[in-house]
Amino acid sequence: MKPNLMYIDADFDLSAPLPPQAPALSQDLGLEAICAAMAGGDRLVFESAKRALLLGLSETGEIVYRQQVLSDCLAHPDIVHQLYRNAVEAVEEERRVWGLYSGSPLSVLSRALGAVEVLVAHLRELRRTADEEAGKFSSEGFSRFFKMVSSELDDGYLAEMEAYTEELKFRNGLLLSGRLGEANSLTGFVLRRPGPASPRRRAGPFGRGSSSFEISSRDDAGLRALDDLRARGTSTVANALAQSAEHVRHFFTVLAAELAFYVGCCNLAKELASKAAHWCVPEPVTEGKDVLRAEGLYDPGLALRLGGQVVGNDLSADGKRLVMVTGANQGGKSTFLRAVGLAQMMMQAGMFVPAARFSASVCPAVFTHFKREEDPTMKRGKLDEELARMSAIASEIKPGCMLLCNESFASTNEREGSEIARQVVKAMTAAHIKVFFVTHLFELAKGLWDERPSDAVFLRAERLADGRRTFRLVEGEPLPTSFGQDSYRAVFGPALGPVAR
Partner 1 sequence: MSRDGRAGAAPSVLYPPGARPRLAEGQPACFKDLNLDQVVKAALAGREEYDLAQFFYSPLQDEASVRYRQEVARDLEKPGAEEVVRVFAKQMRQVRVHLRGMAEVESPQLKQGRFLEAAWGYCSAVRALLGGLQRLDLASEGLLGFVAYLRDYAGSQQFSRLTTEADALRRQLSAVEYSVLIAGNRVTVGRFRSEADLSRLVSTAFSKFTEGSTTNFLADWKSQGEPNHVHAQILERVARLYPELFGHLERFYGRRDDFMDAAVVAFDREVQFYRAYAALVARLAATGTRFCYPEVSSASKQVAFQGGTDIALALVLARYGETAVSNDIALHANERILVVTGPNQGGKTTFARMFGQLHYLAGLGVPVPAERARLFVPDQVFTHFEREETLGNLQGKLQDELLRVRDILAKASERSVIVMNESFSSTTLSDSLFIGANIIAKITELGALAVYVTFVDELASLSDATVSLVAEVPAGDPGLRTYKVVRKHADGRAYAAALAKKYGLTFSELSQRLKEGARK
Q: Which is nearer to partner 1, 152 or 375 (CB)?
A: 152
Q: Is 183 a residue that touches partner 1 (CB under 8 A)?
A: yes
Q: How far is CA 219 from CA 173, 185, 214, 228, 229, in A?
A: 20, 22, 10, 14, 15
Task: Starting at the earlier edge strand, list the strands of the sheet with 322-327.
Answer: 366-370, 402-406, 434-438, 322-327, 456-463, 469-475
Query: Judged by CB, which is closer to partner 1: 49, or 168?
Result: 168
Name the segment binding partner 1 (CB under 8 A); options: 13-21, 193-201, 317-325, 371-379: 193-201
When the beta carbons of 15 and 211 are compared against partner 1, the nearer one is 211
By three-state DSSP, how is residue 3 classified?
A: coil
For partner 1, which residue of 175, 280, 356, 479 counts as binding (CB under 8 A)? 175
Q: Which of 164, 318, 382, 383 binds partner 1 (CB under 8 A)?
A: 164
Q: Out of 18, 159, 223, 276, which residue is the one contacting partner 1 (CB under 8 A)?
A: 223
Query: What is the separation of C-alpha 252 from the centre of its chain, rounded to a whole number of angstroms?
Result: 17
Residue 500 CB-half CA count within 13 A: 0
Residue nearer to partner 1 on the CB measure, 223 or 273: 223
Evaluate whether 5 touches 68 at the Cβ level (below 8 Å). no
Q: Is there binding between residue 362 and partner 1 (CB under 8 A)?
A: no
Nearer to partner 1, 203 or 276 (CB): 203
The Cα 445–Cα 248 span in angstroms is 58
**CB 207 to partner 1: min, Å:** 6
How many residues touch partner 1 under the rule CB under 8 A: the total is 74
Chain positions 132 to 161 lying near partner 1, rule: CB under 8 A, are 152, 160-161
CB closer to partner 1, 116 vs 322: 116
Considering only 221-229, 291-299, 317-325, 357-365, which stretch makes contact with partner 1 by CB under 8 A?
A: 221-229
Which among 20, 24, 19, 23 is positioned nearest to 404, based on CA atoms?
24
By CB under 8 A, residue 193 contacts partner 1: yes
Residue in 140, 91, 83, 123 with CA at minimum distance from that of residue 261: 83
Please identify, using beta-carbon distances, which residue of 185 and 377 lies nearer to partner 1: 185
Distance CA 410, CA 104 (A): 64
Question: How many other C-beta atoms can be found within 10 angstroms of the C-beta atom of residue 11?
Answer: 19
Q: Which of the residues 234 through 273 are near partner 1 (CB under 8 A)?
A: 235-244, 246-248
Local structure of 49: helix, strand or coil: helix
**Does residue 114 belong to the site contacting partner 1 (CB under 8 A)?**
no
Complex with partner 1: residue 249 or 463, whichever CB lies closer:
249
CA distance 469 to 467: 7
Nearest CA to 340 out of 372, 305, 300, 310 is that of 300
Chain residues 418-437 in contact with partner 1, contact rule CB under 8 A: none
- Which is closer to partner 1, CB of 212 or CB of 391? 212
Residues 196-215 that bind partner 1 (CB under 8 A): 203-215
From 26-34, 61-69, 226-234, 339-347, give the range in contact with partner 1 by CB under 8 A. 226-234
Of 283-302, which residues contact partner 1 (CB under 8 A)?
Answer: none
CA dihedral 393, 394, 397, 399 (to 10 degrees): 150
In order, the DSSP letters of 104-139 are: SHHHHHHHHHHHHHHHHHHHHHHHHHHHHHGGG--S
Distance CA 331, CA 482 (A): 9
Is 277:34 a contact under the CB 8 Å cutoff? no
Binding status of residue 226 toward partner 1 by CB under 8 A: yes
Nearer to partner 1 among residue 101 and residue 288 (C-beta): 101
- Rounded CA separation 368/339 (Å): 13
How many other C-beta atoms can be found within 10 angstroms of the C-beta atom of residue 157? Answer: 13
Q: H or E stretch including 386?
A: helix 382-394
Shortest Cβ distance from residue 104 to partner 1 (Å)?
6
* Beta carbon nearer to partner 1, 244 or 481: 244
Question: Which of 64, 174, 383, 431 lies at the binding interface for partner 1 (CB under 8 A)?
Answer: 174
Residue 106: CB atoms within 10 Å: 16
- Pick from 13, 132, 166, 167 the residue near partner 1 by CB under 8 A: 167
Taking CB under 8 A as the criterion, the residue among 3, 56, 105, 327 binding partner 1 is: 105
Site for partner 1 in 45-104 (CB under 8 A): 101-104
CB of 170 to partner 1, least distance (A): 8
